[in-house]
Amino acid sequence: MARKSAKSNDSEAQVKNSLKTQSQGLPPSPPTLQDINDTLESNFMPYAMSIIVSRAIPEIDGFKPSHRKLLYTMYKMGLLTGNRTKSSNVVGQTMKLNPHGDMAIYETMVRLARGNGALLHPYVDSKGNFGKQYSRDMQYAAPRYTEVRLEKLCEELFRGLDKNAVDFVDNYDGTMREPVLLPATYPSILVNSNQGIAAGMASNICSFNIKEVCEATVAYMKDPSADLLPIMPAPDFPGGGIILYDEAAMRSIYETGRGPIRIRSKYFADKSNNLIEVTEIPYTTTAEAVIDEITELVKSGKVKEINDVRDETDLDGLKICIECKRGTDQDALMTKLFRFTSLESTFSCNFNVLINGYPRVMGVNALLAEWIVWRRACQKREVVYEMDKKKDKLHLLDGLAKILLDIDKAIAIIRNTELEADVVPNLMKGFDIDSLQAEYVAEIKLRNINRQYIINRTADRENLKKEIEDLEDIIAKPSRLDALIIKALENVAKKYGQPRRSELLRAEEAATFNVSNMIEDYRLKLFLSDHGYIKKIALTSLRNAGDLKIKEDDAIVMELEGTNKSEILFFSDKANCYKVKGYELPDTKPSEYGGYLPNLLSMEEGEKIIFMHVADDFKGNVLFAFANGKISKIPLLAYETKQNRKKLIHAYSDLSPIVCIHYLTEDVDMAAFSNLRKSIVFNTSLIPLKTTRSSQGVQVLTSKKDSVMTEVKRLEDTGFTDPEYYRVRRLPAIGYYLKEDTLEDRQLTLADL
């Protein structure tokens, strides 16, 4: 307080100095600098707290203040049982509690109305055009044209409101009283969806089926450790659709209050007319947005199977009609649209609720636990209210009982009293009763002073005593209090329960889009050039082709056969492995150079592809030979990834320069050569298999006089006439000098080696 007073004094002083300066014609003094922390604390923090606590985040009764004020106003207007009234009347009356503009209040009413379809269990029975939640362009009519009243379900929201179930506070100008919360007899916080964005936090609560919610709440009250998922397996959205059910993900949402829920549209395929009719879409999108997305896919050429898409929504409900080309696989097309449009989208749960004025993110179990605690307090207040009323009535009947013991005396006191004002005091003195009892006796009609009246009142007194004892027992025993709550929940489930709108489909059983299904497959041949060009030519085109065109100083270093859907591995000299599908490489004519791999693969500067392999089944092993004389044998399976990664770093050891790479389906004889013109012949079975891609392998050729390994070839490619001369049985080995008589072509081979 002292700090605020000091700030106030400083402000007043600044204003006085400014006025004095202006009156004297002096230039204004420079403004006083303010600490940003103080400015935020005094200006932004109150605003942030206001929108968190009083605007955007729902409370345990399931409502934001704007919802609660609107529904309470309609309740006080008698719209729970009466006829509909113009929406303008409700909006005007609500402004006594909600100091916002009329359109803001009306928009709140629209969302709560049955006609809009935003809520699974609407609270407002509407007549007229209230727009549609699933339509972006379908606007609601003005409030002077529409009519509303409360739905029957609202009886459960206000039950106990007149029995002191909740606290009341003054409205913004102190002219009315309004409830702090509504004493809902069921967990309305879970029954209807609720979204809100505050300062630094948000809330996004999905809707659940009211019957399932009530049954789950009863089960939780009977056993807090009960598994609620079989009873309430998933949310239930107003627009229906299909929930791709993942039990593990759903349990996580139930425990933490956060997580995604995938919703897929429901459609009907009319194969005779080549039509697809979408009748239900996810709660998070609109029909216009879906049509715009499909149109864009058709224009961009990503979807070629569609002739037309149109909105045929009418009074019967939503319908998006997709006209397909003849011969189109409609189910496969829908999996593609699910992948690239909001026909399948995600609802991100964020169960953020105000509990005793503090925002908390809770799972379903925790939310039900908080609701039960709150509902017990409401139910107890109702019981106490009824008990107090009965005690007051019993108190009056106790006074009447004393009078009835000597009714003649009472009549005499009344007849002998001169002033009317003295009747009550004289009865108090004559029968030792208080003023309330005496007033009650004095108001009895003369015709009621008979035997039957006395007997009935005496019986009422005995019944009241029993009822009061029963109510006291309810207050003393939590189990009996819970029984009342459970009974109310069962009544709500029976009276307002309805079948689920959203179907459940296990995620693993749902058909998903696969790019390869939409791609033509055919046999092809790949050619890798020394300069990094890749040619992909279909075998049918290669048969009639002439010479392959390459640059003058370039040469083809590898050629492999595969298919358009094969996965191709490219190993570079910087220990990277690039993975692409055959269809991702550009088709090439024999007369073209082909695609430039550094650009196609986004390779590093100066990086060069030295080996490629077509991996159809990821069987076999890869042999890596290094300049330091070591060789590693890695299973090809180590390069298979489920994440569809395009680049694998540390594909092999980079501790020594790579000499060559070979692919093996089985162990074979190989020959290794050094720069000292030494060689060995060995079988690859001597090299142990390593599962780690970056393994250095084992020493094969021992280094001598700083020698390095220069090449490793298959034995049949060496031209050795006497390979047994160079064969070794154990590794590593020093090697044997090359002898001319062991080479088929002495001049060329010695020169090359």
User: SS3 of 516, please?
Assistant: helix
Please identify which of the residues 145, 172, 358, 522 carries the catalytic annotation. Answer: 145
Cβ atoms of 91 and 109 within 8 Å: the answer is yes
Burial of 474 (0-12, 13-18, 19+ CB in 10 A): buried
User: SS3 of 353, please?
Assistant: strand
What are the backbone dihedrals phi and psi of residue 37, each rounded to the nearest 5 degrees, phi first?
A: -65, -40
User: SS3 of 84, please?
Assistant: coil
Sheet holding 124-127, edge to edge: 85-86, 147-150, 124-127
593: annotated active-site residue: no
Nearest to 598 by CA among 614, 574, 616, 567: 574
The 3-state secondary structure of 229-252 reads: CCCCCCCCCCCCCEEEECHHHHHH
Pairing relationship of beta strands 503-506 and 242-245 according to DSSP bridges: parallel
Start-to-end CA span in the chain (Å): 93
Peptide bond into 732 cis (omega under 30): yes
- How many angstroms separate the CA atoms of 454 and 405, rounded? 10
Residue 265 in tokens: 């549209």
CA distances 146 to 89, 91, 108, 153, Å, are 10, 12, 14, 21
Cβ atoms of 215 and 234 within 8 Å: the answer is no
DSSP state letter for 650: S
- How many angstroms separate the CA atoms of 576 and 654, rounded? 10
Cβ atoms of 601 and 572 within 8 Å: the answer is no
Per-residue burial over 613-637, b = 16 or more CB atoms within 10 Å of its CB, e = otherwise: bbbeeeeebbbbbbbbbbbbbbbbe
Nearest to 496 by CA among 488, 504, 484: 488
- How many angstroms separate the CA atoms of 493 and 481, rounded? 19
- How many angstroms separate the CA atoms of 624 and 633, rounded? 6
Residue by residue, DSSP assigns 280-302 as: E--TT--HHHHHHHHHHHHHHTS
> Could you tell me the sign of the dihedral formed by the alpha carbons of 188, 190, 192, 194, in that order?
positive
Nearest to 647 by CA among 613, 603, 610, 616: 603
Nearest to 190 by CA among 65, 284, 62, 68: 62
SS3 content of the chain, % helix, strand, coil (to 5): 40, 25, 40
C-beta atoms surrounding 495 within 10 Å: 13
| Residues carrying an active site annotation | 145
